[in-house]
Amino acid sequence: MSIVKYLDPRLVVFFDAKTRDAAIKILVDQIAEAGKIHDKKAFYNATIDREKIVSTGIGMGVAVPHAKLPAYEDFFIAIGILKEGVDWNALDGAPVRFIFLIGGPDDKQTEYLQILSKLTLAIKDETMRKKMLAAQTPEVVVSLFR
């Protein structure tokens, strides 16, 4: 399984945000603009509700928020690369600069766990994270996962 099949350059955004919720909103807006979600408000609320359970800031400047809803057939990953880090209440206390927002169906847990595993493996690599920060276009970011 390759992460690339879940990526779309239209879902890679370079931006600045002051808070976790603002960053999630920007990514959800981008996902909606790309036509990947049916109900922007429901998707945003599901993502925020999940964050309230426990932070998805996994450390190394990375957060992996997600929303799984019955209305979706396939998974997708939106990538946000922040100019400045935001407080995400991450496990290591570090500000988050990379957001991998996973969306998809709520009934494909095995596939979701495979995506999470592959993604985590890729982003643990410090060189990979440095290349993502240096990337100038969404296409370059997507190509790093090939």
Is the distance from CB of 99 to CB of 63 less than 8 angstroms? yes
pLDDT, position 54: 94
pLDDT, position 71: 87
Q: For the range 112-121, what are the long-range contacts, defined as Cβ-Cβ under 8 Å and sequence gap of 24 or more? A: 112/66, 112/68, 112/75, 114/1, 115/1, 115/3, 115/6, 115/75, 115/77, 116/64, 118/1, 118/2, 118/3, 119/3, 119/64, 119/77, 120/58, 120/64
pLDDT, position 37: 94
pLDDT, position 38: 86
pLDDT, position 1: 76
Query: Does pTM surpass 0.85?
Result: yes
